[in-house]
């Protein structure tokens, strides 16, 4: 049996978390619970450099645990280019890469992910209109990229398809770790044109779901939306949202406790693999 734990959207800077103390507390918890693999599905900081440094510091505290991470949209805001996100080789960085879990037949695939506006189809807005809205109101307007959002999402879909085909040829069961929302089940829409109906455009892609369903992925772990969602099985795949989210000091009622470590523990998703 191998214990694998997942977390997302820790937002250490926005939550004003004392980092040195928190790293020690997280390491102690993972060590006590004999976690052999710890995977982070993005949004550690509003800076990729800080996120990579955090992973390095945490790994140094955990010689018996392998720590991996992918980038969320907040990590992409500063300190990294699109090209570096695609090809970078920072310790533990798992985008468009995989790790085979020793002693099991499982392969964990990491993929940052992106979006193509398909979750906002009900708005009736064109891609150009949604892009204009994004650049005016959404934090991702700060992220530079050499193509449109739908084109970027097509690259993600091609990468995932290739990774899953390779895993299938190797006879591996697969777990996908991605930042963006992988299934429309988790998208909330209303019958008006309020803010969040447009924001859904930047949450993920309906097309990713088709790739997951066609490849019989065992589980998907994701973040990005900070809801408290119980694990749910859709078709043949278990979905886990591991986002810690923002605390109440930032006008978001997302935490159910008053301190980061409790919230992180409560949201940590642990899977036992055999």
Domains and CATH numbers, the chain: 2-273 (3.60.21.10)
Q: What is the C-alpha separation between 220 and 218, in angstroms, rounded?
A: 7
Q: Of 227, 138, 245, which Cα lies nearest the Cα of 185?
A: 227
Residue 182 has pLDDT above 90, yes or no: yes
Query: What is the radius of gyration, based on Cα positions, of the chain?
Result: 18
What mean pLDDT do residues 209-218 have?
96
pLDDT of residue 250: 60
List C-alpha distances in Å: 172 to 101, 105, 175: 10, 6, 10
Residue 96 has pLDDT above 90, yes or no: yes
Q: What is the C-alpha separation between 25 and 141, in angstroms, rounded?
A: 34
Q: Give me the percent of the chain exceeding a pLDDT of 70.
A: 98
Helix (H, G, I), strand (E, B) or coil at 116: coil
- Dump pLDDT digits (tens) for 161-180: 999 999 999 999 999 999 99
For every residue of 134-165, DSSP letters joined together read: HHHH-GGGG---SS-HHHHHHHHHHHHHHHHH
- Dump pLDDT digits (tens) for 28-73: 999 999 999 999 999 999 999 999 999 999 999 999 999 999 999 9
| Model confidence band, residue 251 (pLDDT cutoffs 50, 70, 90) | low
Q: Which residues, listed in sequence order, are joined to residue 106 by a DSSP beta bridge?
A: 173
pLDDT of residue 21: 98
Residue 253 has pLDDT above 80, yes or no: no
What mean pLDDT do residues 127-133 have?
97
What mean pLDDT do residues 125-139 have?
97
Centre a 10 Å sphere on the Cβ of residue 109 and count the other Cβ atoms it contains. 25
Centre a 10 Å sphere on the Cβ of residue 114 and count the other Cβ atoms it contains. 26
pLDDT of residue 191: 80
pLDDT of residue 196: 84
Contact 164, 109 (CB under 8 A): yes
What mean pLDDT do residues 230-251 have?
91
Residue 248 has pLDDT above 90, yes or no: no
List C-alpha distances in Å: 9 to 40, 124, 171, 268: 8, 30, 32, 11
| Model confidence band, residue 158 (pLDDT cutoffs 50, 70, 90) | very high
pLDDT of residue 249: 65
Per-residue b or e along 11-44, where b marks 16 or more CB atoms closer than 10 Å to that residue's CB? bbebbebeeeebbeebbeebeeeebbbbbbbbbb
Kind of pairing between the strands at 173-178 and 106-111: parallel
pTM equals: 0.97
Mean pLDDT across the chain = 96
Q: What is the C-alpha separation between 274 and 265, in angstroms, rounded?
A: 23
Sheet holding 2-7, edge to edge: 66-69, 37-40, 2-7, 269-273
Residue 134 has pLDDT above 70, yes or no: yes
């Amino acid at each position: 049996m191998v214990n694998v734990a997942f977390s997302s959207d820790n937002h250490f800077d926005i939550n004003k978390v004392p980092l040195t103390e928190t790293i020690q507390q997280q390491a102690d918890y993972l060590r006590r619970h004999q976690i052999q693999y710890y995977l982070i599905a993005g949004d550690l900081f509003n800076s990729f450099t800080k996120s990579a440094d955090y992973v390095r510091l945490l790994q140094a505290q955990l010689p018996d645990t392998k720590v991996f991470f992918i980038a969320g949209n907040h990590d992409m805001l500063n300190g990294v280019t699109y090209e570096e996100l695609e090809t970078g080789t920072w310790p533990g960085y798992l985008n468009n890469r995989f790790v085979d879990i020793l002693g099991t037949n499982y392969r964990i695939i990491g993929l940052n992910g992106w979006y193509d506006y398909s979750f906002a189809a009900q708005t009736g807005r064109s891609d150009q209109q949604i892009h204009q809205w994004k650049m005016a109101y959404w934090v991702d307007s700060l992220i530079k990229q050499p193509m449109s959002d739908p084109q970027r999402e097509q690259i993600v879909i091609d990468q995932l398809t290739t990774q899953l085909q390779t895993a299938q040829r190797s006879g591996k069961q697969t777990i996908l770790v991605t930042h963006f929302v992988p299934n429309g089940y988790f998208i909330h829409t209303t019958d008006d044109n309020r803010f969040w109906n447009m924001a859904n455009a930047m949450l993920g892609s309906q097309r990713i779901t088709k790739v997951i369903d066609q490849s019989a992925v065992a589980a998907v772990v994701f973040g990005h939306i900070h809801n408290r969602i119980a694990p749910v099985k859709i078709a043949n795949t278990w979905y886990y949202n591991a986002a810690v989210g923002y605390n109440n000091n930032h006008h978001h009622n997302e935490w159910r406790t008053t301190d980061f470590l409790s919230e992180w523990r409560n949201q940590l998703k642990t899977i036992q693999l055999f």
